[in-house]
Amino acid sequence: MAATTRLTPEQVQFYADNGYLNGLAPVYTGEEVAELQEGYRRIVSLLYDGELPSDIMNWHLTSKWLYDICANPRILDLVEGILGPNFYMARTEFITKSPKSDKIVPWHQDSYYWSTEKSKTVTVWLAVSDVTEQNGAMKVIPGTHNAGIIQHRIAGKDSILSFELERGSFNENDAIALVNPAGCISMHDDAIIHGSGPNVSDGWRIGFVIRYSQTGVYWDPKHYPDFRMYMMRGVDEFKRHEQGEVPIERFARPEESNRRIRKTEASN
Ligand SMILES: O=C(O)CCC(=O)C(=O)O
């Protein structure tokens, strides 16, 4: 079993300067990685005809297996190093790329999409498959989280998202690929410029993405009708959100497809 590790002061400083962290000790090792991948197969088996793994958004509301990943103390210890003592889990999704897929995630800043207060939300990107440059690892442009939010434009047709940054508004040569074996996580700030290229490999690239916010952050229910806050550490001094109920069933899905919800989010 992987040991619980806290971030060192150097790692905290690196995140503050660069807006991301990678190369952390694995969260899941050995047997646990096999269980993680088996869990993924079980959750994907719940998809309706015509749905894709990337339609699995916020199923932590219904699946205890996913909720438990989000509440894993080994992950929370690392997140606490960035967000401090009081934070909640806000949203989750799988971001996947099938073998030989042209789909890309265009360069963007999450807080442009979310309209949440900048640099108070951390994304944990958990590698469910091995993640390599060939299968489309996420890339970040270090330090751009401190440059403010930049205007985005409508994205091209091979894009997984609706908006992208203009090329030329940053230097793509500065990009760092967050390569990781399955069971490891990276973390990134919601204002960092990031994206990912196509999957030119023969295997799937599978990431489970968890967003954690400081308690003061407001996710507007107008845009996020399925939003529930799950306090993960400390106290909620703000009480701006309704606390979610922890699901009971290990593998269960929302009745309604998430497709509609994803569209709503993309048009915010
Ligand atoms: O998985 C990717 O390639 C991009 C992920 C992303 O945009 C995010 O987690 O905010």
Residue position matching structure tokens 């309604």: 256
Closest CA to 66 of 83, 53, 79: 53
Q: How far apart are the first and last CA of the chain?
A: 41
Q: Decide if 21 is inside a domain.
A: no
Taking the C-alpha atoms of residue 12 and residue 252, their distance in angstroms, rounded to an integer, is: 36
Tokens of 111: 């807080």
* Ligand 1 mean position, distance from CA 77 (Å): 22
Q: Decide if 1 is inside a domain.
A: no
Q: Decide if 14 is inside a domain.
A: no
pLDDT at residue 4, rounded to an integer: 57
Query: How many residues belong to the chain?
Result: 268
Task: Output the pTM of the full model.
Answer: 0.93
Q: How many domains are there within the chain?
A: 1
Closest CA to 112 of 154, 81, 80: 154
Range of the domain at 100: 26-266
Closest CA to 178 of 140, 205, 124: 140
CB 155 within 8 A of CB 162: yes
pLDDT at residue 151, rounded to an integer: 72
Closest CA to 126 of 70, 67, 194: 70
Closest CA to 244 of 111, 64, 124, 79: 64
Pocket test for ligand 1, best of 56, 107, 125 (most atoms within 8 A of CB): 125
Q: Decide if 60 is inside a domain.
A: yes
Q: What is the pLDDT of residues 117-160, one digit of tens each?
A: 889 999 999 999 999 999 999 999 999 999 877 777 777 766 67
197 lines ligand 1 (CB under 6 A): no
155 lines ligand 1 (CB under 6 A): no
Q: What is the pLDDT of residues 151-182, one digit of tens each?
A: 777 777 666 777 777 776 778 899 999 999 99
Task: Check residue 76 and report its DSSP letter.
Answer: H
105 lines ligand 1 (CB under 6 A): yes
Q: Decide if 245 is inside a domain.
A: yes
Q: Decide if 185 is inside a domain.
A: yes
* Ligand 1 mean position, distance from CA 130 (Å): 15
pLDDT at residue 266, rounded to an integer: 41
* Ligand 1 mean position, distance from CA 160 (Å): 10
- Which CATH number goes with the domain that contains 115? 2.60.120.620
Q: Is the pLDDT of residue 228 over 60?
A: yes
Q: Decide if 2 is inside a domain.
A: no
- As a whole number, the mean pLDDT across the chain is 91
